[in-house]
Amino acid sequence: MNDSDDGTIEYSVKDGVAHIEISRASKHNALTKALTRKLGEALDRLDSDTQAHVAVLSGRGKSFCAGSDIAESQMATREEMVASRDQMSIGHPFFELFSRSLNHKPVVAALHGNVLGLGLGLALDCDLIVCDETARLQVTETQRGLGGYRHLALMKARGCGIWADEVCLTGRLFSAEEAHSAGLFNRVAPSGTALDVAFGLATEIAANPPLSVRETNRIRRWHFAKLVREIAFETGNLKLHLTEDFEEAVRAMVEKRAPGPFLAR
């Protein structure tokens, strides 16, 4: 299936391992609501697929996922923004991606290229993470005025400590090796091999009794899901996507200039 501006999600299975691929290469796999829903459908398919016991999630082309689609999520009219739901809130298609699972089959993220904002958030929702050594990673929500609190909490839950404070408060780019040293990723792969390494890890998992793996992963996910729901509840009324600072950050990005001054409103 050819990639298009709208994008699609590819799904295949071999030897007990499913491959779920975000296919919107022309836009660095940026996620729209429609593409996010398709991803949710693929994860639902994995959950019920008797031939698949584990999955590898990757992105086609030059990037894993460059985040949310800017035109849809951050350049809408004021009326559309007011009516929209925060991507990190309960009920948004992104929030619900892993919440409907019944069998809790592990998903191994294979990261490469740009892994930014919502794309990094998607990786953090996966169960294991393999990252190409050349990947570009960033909590872009901080600089965009949306807040990096969800990324911070999930990084802390993975044991990243004070390093997570730094990258989420500064919003700076960071490397795969730096993140691996902090405990964020399971493996760092030589350039161009992240997908192969992720499949190797998935194959190791698939060799185990499936119910044993699923129950282990169910408990892991339960703790993460509880944390994510607590964050959504605590931050649900912030509506940072309606602030003047957010508008300025987006305008500056589109106009390719330094943002500011920010007014804390």
Tens of pLDDT, residue by residue over 1-22, are: 344 578 999 999 999 999 999 9
Instruction: For residue 21, indicate whether it is catalytic.
Output: no
> 105 near 55, Cβ under 8 Å?
yes
State the number of CA atoms in the 13 A half-sphere of 37 facing the CB: 6
First to last CA, the chain: 45
Phi/psi zone of residue 192: left (φ > 0), alpha (ψ -120 to 50 degrees), beta?
left
Residue 236: pLDDT band with limits 50, 70, 90: confident
pLDDT, mean over the chain: 91
Domains of the chain listed by start with CATH number: 8-194+201-255 (3.90.226.10)
Q: What is the pTM of this model?
A: 0.92
List the catalytic residue out of 141, 178, 215, 248: 141
Give me the residue label for tokens 């989420």.
Answer: 168
Smallest Cα–Cα separation from 67: which of 133, 148, 125, 140?
140
> For the CA atoms of 161, 167, 173, 174, what is the dihedral angle to 10 degrees?
-10
Question: Average of pLDDT values for 37-66?
Answer: 97
Spatial separation of the C-alpha atoms in residues 188 and 110, rounded to whole Å: 10
Q: Is the Cα torsion angle 40, 46, 48, 54 positive or negative in sign? A: negative
Token pair 């950050």: residue: 249
Q: Are strands 54-59 and 17-23 parallel, antiparallel or unpaired?
A: parallel
At 229, the pLDDT band (50, 70, 90 cuts) reads confident
pLDDT of residue 233: 84
Segment 171-195, tens digit of pLDDT: 999 999 999 999 999 999 999 999 9
CA angle 224, 48, 106 (to 5 degrees): 35
* Poorest-pLDDT segment among 34-43, 68-77, 100-109, 181-190: 68-77
- Segment 145-159 shows an average pLDDT of 93
pLDDT value of position 80 = 66
Lowest mean pLDDT of 6-15, 33-42, 65-74, 139-148, name the range.
Answer: 65-74
**The predicted structure's pLDDT at residue 154:** 93
**What is the tens place of the pLDDT at every residue in 81-108?**
666 666 666 667 788 899 889 999 999 9
Of 69-83, 125-139, 148-162, the poorest mean pLDDT is in: 69-83
